[in-house]
Amino acid sequence: MQKNINVVQELLKKTNEAKKSLPPLRILITGKTGVGKSTLINAVFGEELASTGVGKPVTSHLRRYSTKNNLVLFDTKGLELVGSTLEETDKEISDFLREAQIQGEPIHMIWYCINSMGHRVEETELKLMTSLSKQVPLLCLLTQSIAGKGGELKRVIEAYNLPIAGVLEVLAEDYTLGKTTFPAWGLAELIAFCYSLLPKGVDLTFLQAQTDIDLKVKEARRYVKGYVATTFGVGFTPIPFADATLLVPTQLGMLAHLTMLFGVDMDENMLLALLTALGGTTGATHLGRGIVSQVLKMVPGAGTLMGGLISGTTAALVTTSLGYSYIAVLANYTKAQREGQKLEPKALVDMLKSQLKKNTKALSKDKSFDAGPEKPPLLKRLGHVIKRK
């Protein structure tokens, strides 16, 4: 294995590779003018898309917005959808959907927005939703839903039994009416629904592009569990302590994937501070030893290294603890960034350290991790030891 690689560069490179491997996700957002499409997009995908004045015109009513997160949004503008314009609109959007499919750049989902304040749904809209949903899964979103307005409309629309994926209410931004402010709601449900509806692959693109941090945390932790299970395998083969450095490429791969899932650009200095805190140096060899020995100290009963081996279960525990702790750091980093705050590297380093302690302690109690030393006979087990390259 190459020694003294610059792990920060390596992590950044792996994160970029993970980002690039995400398939493009294309969502079309439509509905009458002023229903709140742009407001909803901003709430679900973050402030960066707030400058909705721009965007590339695709057809006379369609605009395309590409984001750096492999998400492509198509937003219609100024649709009136009354009388004869329905047929034109239907044709315009249907032709576009078909063409996109032929070009090998299919639209994965349509959000059809209706303003809850309008109290009712027009015949033309029912027709349009039915027509479009024949081509692409369509979600009917009842926007600006305050004081139960969307609920009534939801029942009305559901009663039509349209061939659509679902009807959901949402209030994308707090709404003030006189002295009363109605807090935004329904976003997490909408996000969870889309996430479950999207096909494998593009669901990850959606996960990293959307703004619900709790969902990212939940899915990232699930990813760590799966990653550790496949990396260390059933029975968790023992690893010589000296080869703990071999864990580094594995762990870096995991950290890169997690960074990608959060859809944030981690500052190079921030990563340097975090990795330095873990390993005490930027060299990969030391980093691997650093991570393992630091975390090992916190694992009860793991201090006795039989024949210089750390058990596979311990290696798995260390890696899981590292993953969970890094997720907590990413979550806080992302939250702070969204609120326009800047966290100092030291704050994140402290957070990482206290999280490592907390998670290692909790995982050590987890029965699925048998953190103690492997049972003899040692020689037999040595046959399964990972070979040093």
Residues forming the site for ligand GTP (CB under 6 A): 33-39, 77-78, 143-144, 171-173, 175
For Mg ion, the closer of residues 49 and 316 by Cβ is 49
Instruction: Tell me the closest approach of the beta carbon of residue 75 to Mg ion, in angstroms.
Output: 6
Q: Which does 35 bind (CB under 5 to 8 A by kind): Mg ion, ligand GTP, none?
A: ligand GTP
- Partner that binds at residue 70, options ligand GTP, Mg ion, none, CB closer than 5 to 8 Å by kind: none
Minimum distance between the CB of residue 290 and ligand GTP, rounded to whole angstroms? 48
Residue in the shown chain whose Cβ atom is closest to ligand GTP? 36
| Minimum CB distance to ligand GTP smaller for 44 or for 270 | 44
Which of the listed partners (Mg ion, ligand GTP, none) does 138 bind, with a CB threshold of 5 to 8 Å by partner kind?
Answer: none
Helix (H) or strand (E) holding 327: helix 312-338
Which does residue 143 touch among ligand GTP, Mg ion, none (CB within 5 to 8 A, set by kind)? Answer: ligand GTP
Produce one character per residue of 339-359: b if its CB has 16 or more CB atoms within 10 Å, e if not.
eeeebebeebbebbeebbbeb
Decide whether 175 or 195 has the Cβ nearer to ligand GTP. 175
Q: How far is the CB of 288 from ligand GTP (least distance, A)?
A: 49
Q: What is the dihedral of CA 66, 71, 72, 77, to 10 degrees?
A: -90
- Residue 11's binding partner among Mg ion, ligand GTP, none (Cβ under 5 to 8 angstroms by kind) is none
In angstroms, the CA 224 to CA 215 distance is 14
Query: What DSSP designation does 171 have?
Result: B
Respond yes or no on whether the N-terminal peptide bond of residue 137 is cis (omega within 30° of 0): no
Q: Which does 294 bind (CB under 5 to 8 A by kind): ligand GTP, Mg ion, none?
A: none
- How many whole angstroms separate alpha carbon 287 and alpha carbon 123? 64
Nearer to ligand GTP, 144 or 282 (CB): 144
CA atoms within 13 A on the CB side of 324: 21
Q: Choose between 128 and 255: whose C-beta lies nearer to Mg ion.
A: 128
| Residue 140 Cβ vs ligand GTP, minimum distance, rounded to whole Å | 14
The CB-of-334 to ligand GTP minimum distance in angstroms stands at 22
Q: Rounded CA gap, 43 and 187, in Å? A: 8
Tokens of 96: 């576009």
Q: Footprint of Mg ion on this chain (CB under 5 A)?
A: 37-38
**Measured from the CB of residue 105, what is the shortest distance to Mg ion in angstroms?**
22
Q: Taking the CB of residue 189, how many other CB atoms lie within 10 A of it?
A: 13
Give min distance, CB of 50 to ligand GTP, in A. Answer: 10
Partner in contact with 171, chosen from Mg ion, ligand GTP, none, beta carbon below 5 to 8 Å by kind: ligand GTP
First to last CA, the chain: 6
CB-wise, 129 or 274, nearer to ligand GTP? 129
Q: Measured between alpha carbons, how far is 25 from 361 in angstroms, rounded to an integer? A: 39
Residue 107 binds what, of Mg ion, ligand GTP, none (CB under 5 to 8 Å, by partner type)? none
Residue nearest to Mg ion (CB): 38
Closer residue to Mg ion, CB minimum distance, 41 or 202 = 41
- Judged by DSSP in three states, 186 sits in coil
Q: Which of 123, 121, 181 is nearest to 152 (CA)?
A: 121
Nearest-approach distance from CB 29 to ligand GTP, in angstroms: 8
Interatomic CA distance for residues 365 and 342, integer angstroms:
35
Output the 3-class SS for 118-137: HCCCCHHHHHHHHHHHCCCC
Residue closer to Mg ion by CB (options 51, 101) is 51
